[in-house]
Copies of this chain bind each other. A is one copy, B any other.
Amino acid sequence: MTMNLTKLFEQHALEVFEIYNDSLIKQSMLYSFFAPGKRVRPLLMLKLISDYGLDPFIGLDGALALEMIHTYSLVHDDLPSMDNDSLRRGLPTNHVKFGEANAMLGGDALLTGAFEVLSRCSLNAENRVKCIQILSSRSGANGMVLGQYQDLSLINENSDFQALSAMYSLKTGELLSAALEMGAIIANQNEHIFALREIGLSLGLAFQIQDDLLEVTLTDEAIGKSTASDRDNHKVTAIRLLGQRKAEELIHSLFDSVTRKISELNLDGTELLDYIQELLKRQK
């Protein structure tokens, strides 16, 4: 099911990108969009819609907009003046491949395009507007962008777990929340939005702590071959602040609360829950 949905999503994305004229900017957009990714945000939304007993097809444009926002954020965050990463998922980062200017512009075009896709999709105008409201507010100066700022500038060796978890919620939770909130809007289940937002924020925190845990594991496995940058070595993580056992406990308690909240929604299906379970078991 996940495979089929991913295929359907990527096929749809490819068709929608046809609205753009050929240019190096389009190549820059496509390069990062189609770099191998888990498509977590699209799948969370499409599986929720499916759990409502509806055809996930109606959410494809919303899912595309979410992934365009996620992709632009990766492209910009990788830039030398931000995280300065040269590899992402085994491929050269966008600016290594296309140069800094075209990475920046490709990111700007993906960000702009997300709202173009939503504004042109087949939902009724009211729901298009609601999706754009959610996506813009979750990803902007009160949401994801603020999280990236906090990650770069506010989190330092003196940060406590409260500051770290606030940053994690902004940087990752807000867009996961948008995925679920938009799913509810598209399925005309507005009464679920508040609960789904809480679920999204908890998931964001859980996934980020899980990333911290996986990094510890990977570092242990790579004994004698340190590729971590100085910044990575001094990075404040949930493991450093809580210890590994407490961090693992927190993930489980977040997952329990997410499970309980989803069960309270009385959905027809369990695709969303199964998928979240699968994500929390991931080893990379």
A: residues with CB less than 8 A from B are: 19-21, 23-26, 29, 72, 76, 79-82, 99-102, 104-105, 107-109, 111-113, 115-116, 118-120, 125-126, 128-129, 132-133, 136-137, 139-142, 145-146, 148-149, 152-153
Say whether A81 contacts B109, CB under 8 Å.
no
Copies of chain A in the complex? 2
Contact partners of A80 in chain B: CB under 8 A: 81
* A175 CB to nearest B CB, Å: 12
Chain A contact residues, majority secondary structure: helix
Say whether B108 contacts A145, CB under 8 Å.
yes
Say whether B25 contacts A145, CB under 8 Å.
yes
State A116–B69 Cα separation when bound (angstroms).
Answer: 14
Say whether A116 contacts B133, CB under 8 Å.
yes
Say whether A142 contacts B101, CB under 8 Å.
no
Contact partners of A113 in chain B: CB under 8 A: 136, 140-141
Contact partners of A112 in chain B: CB under 8 A: 111, 136, 139-141, 145
| A136-B153 CB under 8 A given contacts A20-B141, A81-B104 | no
